Structure 1
């Protein structure tokens, strides 16, 4: 019999009426012929209420007692939901984290799962009962109650779905599903039927979506389909599941982050170790730097620019000046009132012209681009904040995201992905594997290191800062059928820009011919290229918020004597260009530093 895990957040069980509504969903799923495990969070504002109560008694409550207190929120919820299920005529049993069999370490308020046993859950399911499981909590070896920290109920649900080999994990929330962009900002935003794990990770890192990014990454590891559904209507929601690139939309969603600031470090030395110092100064103040660009060095000096939340600008300037002082060179500058617009789509891996389409949409709205960064499935641009709403609407319309897509096939309850079948793997082995992977995910941010030695770089110097220039460049490239990987643009003090991008080495000559033809009417520009470069990337979730990853990466490369020619970042990737002669050494260095991550 198929197993369905359902997770209900706090708003879904906020009061008696909503608890009964959740119970009706649970019972309906059971009566469709499935075994059901419902993971439940604390009701509504219950956790905040308990935190405020604790702080009214003690300014510094002990973490063990906070876990003892906060865990009561879920205990209350599961008991009430079980009572509601009983009222509807089905048998149910409510279980705390300890009763489920979730054993953790003793790191109170952010415990890590060490063991999951499922005997009690399976016995209840086989007896025909619905299991109502408390999210967010476990128990340590000394029988102390522990909590799992931010996103803990999502972690409980996805971990149980993986270890039980559930057919689907349904996430009930207060929205209809995942939208192409924020429907409050764009009225024509459309709910998506389906989105891939990687796309959802990018959007969640940008502040979109309704799930914790670590839970999505964990579901991806075990190919657990996640179905984000509305709690208060009968909508089918959005399926987060494996998707072939050939079936994926070129662009799935758009995110807008306002209140960004940019900091420039100009005229710094071009030598190994420079970026390690810059990132160390930022990480020591826990400043979450975002879009990072290092232009191609010229005359022994380089320029680095990066964005930060505008509220962090003062601390960032202090750190930047400290870095310049330690380097013995460099001028610090900044700009405010900026916004970051990002388009995300798995189809970018296999389609040319996405960048050109994006830049053309912005040009038609007369929006100037200040910076450009890219990842494998995302392009981000920095624009003036007063143009950000126009930019969002123009790009959403430009990619026709408001139009209905043809229906995508869902993963049904009986259609388990063949890759999720584990023939010959015992239940204990599966449970141990789930816990091992969960621990490695919680311990380390970076999941992979990649190297591409078959790239070339093209740079157009002294480009005019006006709407449409980038669109013209990448339209020409797309018409030539050339796939572009890394794109870097940074506008200088003189309102001129250098625009660099990488292409597969076999396409270099064709791309240069296209560029020479395009640039002929632009006598102020100059064209440069490097035939042999290597593209090195570290990949993981939450890189922006984990400020030490960049420092660790650049320190390791500096200690190996490797000079970095270009830098480009996103929420889930830090990419650098190095010389091909240093590529294998750089790759080995980063694999050694992050050798246990995601392996």
Structure 2
């Protein structure tokens, strides 16, 4: 049995006209001999009546600090509404469609409400439905605890749902439908000549997602990678082939060879502050441990860590700046916080052990007089901290320097 998992995001199910386009994608898969499993997000984005953010606002209109468990119960409603409507549309088109919540579909999670992790995915019910010729329509973004309580999987969780089901079903392919034609070399709002990538490796797209690209959730990629199931990111609104995510670019995909590219894309993260903790000569390594343990104990995630004699530097989300400041004052450390920063990254699986990559990176920024506040690199990425006002110039200069428009 050839199985395809097709996930449709919020903009792909937002109106009857758009859902009609999604229906055509499902019919095409069936015509090609696939058994589709459809995964849907809540309809639309913030402001739309049944979008997740709208439902959160409704809940918090009663009490701003509503508990996560209760919040999950209303957040699950958006996907349920979407799945029921999509199922009705498929039935009207002559398909024997069946709506399933995440729990009904076999997605069992831990009890970390609003950001649950999948513990297991039992595909038995879906397999039985497929054998009967039915089309399961599954609520993305949600699962169920062992105690049968609704949970949600965090932002981008519908991608994770699709990959978890694809892995459990040993699907032939997972399609992620969105409102763009694929994964691009940079944000087209900044770089006008950004290109759609034909093919990209699992590792590269994970790096892009972690560093700010929002086309697909990194957890979804990591799950698909475990079973080596190809992912395709494509548009509901066009017939463009999209971007294939796999281990190796195969000749028969028509895609460019991922392994030969030094850089694959440029991305960025905003709403960041830099924290500089000043240490005197009497403070040893215990000071570093104390600072980072304090951040961890207070739920503050740190990034871009540099430790030098006399100074510790790291970045945090700007929303946590006040809390971090209070905690550092209590520890009696001298520190400063640099606001309005951004992290800009170049990602590429081909940069491993290639000399001159860092030099090219620095040259591109220095020629545009962009101040570098901090750097960090790995085998597949180089990131710098810059002032948020320099994002556009930084992304454009790096995109040009690494030849990503060619």
TM-score scaled to structure 1, two decimals? 0.60
- Alignment partner of 1:163 is 2:168: yes
Partner of 1:303: 311
Work out whether residues 260 and 336 of structure 1, in 8 Å CA contact, stay in contact via their aligned partners in 2: yes
Q: 2:285 is paired with a residue of what secondary structure?
A: coil
Residue ranges of structure 1 left out of the alignment (5+ in a row): 326-330, 404-599
Partner of 1:96: 101
* Residues in 2 aligned to 1:208 and 1:161: alpha-carbon distance in whole angstroms: 22
- Alignment partner of 1:127 is 2:140: no
* CA-CA distance at 1:303 after TM superposition: 2.3
- Alignment partner of 1:252 is 2:271: no
* Residues in 2 aligned to 1:214 and 1:196: alpha-carbon distance in whole angstroms: 14
Change (3 A) 1:324 1:141: closer
Work out whether residues 91 and 130 of structure 1, in 8 Å CA contact, stay in contact via their aligned partners in 2: yes
Residue 405 of structure 2, aligned match among 387, 402, 405:
402
* Residues in 2 aligned to 1:147 and 1:259: alpha-carbon distance in whole angstroms: 25
- Alignment partner of 1:332 is 2:347: no
Partner of 1:441: none
Report the structure number with the largest CA radius of gyration: 1
* Residues in 1 aligned to 2:258 and 2:188: alpha-carbon distance in whole angstroms: 27
Change (3 A) 1:179 1:54: same
Q: How does 1:229-248 map to 2 (within 5 A)?
A: 229-243=234-248, 247-248=259-260
Work out whether residues 24 and 85 of structure 1, in 8 Å CA contact, stay in contact via their aligned partners in 2: no
Change (3 A) 1:322 1:14: same
1:459-481 per-position Cα deviation (integer Å, ceiling 9, x unaligned): xxxxxxxxxxxxxxxxxxxxxxx
- Alignment partner of 1:283 is 2:262: no
Change (3 A) 1:332 1:113: closer
* Residues in 2 aligned to 1:386 and 1:109: alpha-carbon distance in whole angstroms: 33
1:274-303 per-position Cα deviation (integer Å, ceiling 9, x unaligned): 2101212333443333222123x4xxxx32
Partner of 1:187: 192
Partner of 1:487: none
Work out whether residues 213 and 268 of structure 2, in 8 Å CA contact, stay in contact via their aligned partners in 1: no
* Residues in 1 aligned to 2:273 and 2:318: alpha-carbon distance in whole angstroms: 5
* Residues in 2 aligned to 1:352 and 1:9: alpha-carbon distance in whole angstroms: 40
Matched residue count: 393
1:179-201 per-position Cα deviation (integer Å, ceiling 9, x unaligned): 11111011111111122222222
Residue 377 of structure 1, aligned match among 376, 380, 394:
380
Work out whether residues 259 and 349 of structure 2, in 8 Å CA contact, stay in contact via their aligned partners in 1: no
Higher mean displacement: 3-12 or 123-132:
123-132
Q: How does 1:461-540 map to 2 (within 5 A)?
A: none
Residue 352 of structure 2, aligned match among 342, 346, 349:
349
Residue 361 of structure 2, aligned match among 340, 358, 362:
358
Change (3 A) 1:265 1:57: closer
* CA-CA distance at 1:369 after TM superposition: 2.9
Work out whether residues 206 and 255 of structure 1, in 8 Å CA contact, stay in contact via their aligned partners in 2: yes
Partner of 1:530: none
1:150-180 per-position Cα deviation (integer Å, ceiling 9, x unaligned): 3332222111100111111111112222111
Change (3 A) 1:141 1:319: closer
Change (3 A) 1:291 1:61: closer
Residue 212 of structure 1, aligned match among 201, 208, 217:
217
Q: 2:280 is paired with a residue of what secondary structure?
A: strand
Change (3 A) 1:145 1:341: closer
* CA-CA distance at 1:137 after TM superposition: 2.9
* Residues in 2 aligned to 1:200 and 1:391: alpha-carbon distance in whole angstroms: 20
Partner of 1:580: none
Work out whether residues 30 and 130 of structure 1, in 8 Å CA contact, stay in contact via their aligned partners in 2: no
Change (3 A) 1:136 1:392: closer
Change (3 A) 1:142 1:264: closer
Residue ranges of structure 2 left out of the alignment (5+ in a row): 250-256
Work out whether residues 199 and 258 of structure 2, in 8 Å CA contact, stay in contact via their aligned partners in 1: no
Change (3 A) 1:337 1:141: closer
Higher mean displacement: 125-134 or 49-58:
49-58
